Amino acid sequence: LLRSILGNKNTLLKKIIRKIFKKLRIDMVRPTSPDLHALVKRYAYEKTFQVLSYNNTDSFVDTAKNAGSLSALQGDLKMATKSDVVLYTNTHIKSNEMPEIINELKSTCTQKLIFHTKNYDPKSTEQLLIDSGFETRERHIFPSEICFVCKVKD
Binned at pLDDT 50, 70 and 90, residue 1 comes out as low
Model's pTM, two decimal places? Answer: 0.79
Long-range contacts of 129-135 (CB under 8 A, 24+ apart): 129/102, 132/99, 132/102, 132/103, 132/105, 132/106, 133/106, 134/102, 134/106
Q: Round to whole Å and give the CA distance between 129 and 122.
A: 11
Q: Which pLDDT tens digit goes with each residue over 61-81?
A: 999 999 999 998 888 888 889
Q: Which pLDDT tens digit goes with each residue over 85-97?
A: 999 998 778 888 8
Q: Is the pLDDT of residue 41 over 70?
A: yes
Q: Is the pLDDT of residue 30 over 60?
A: yes
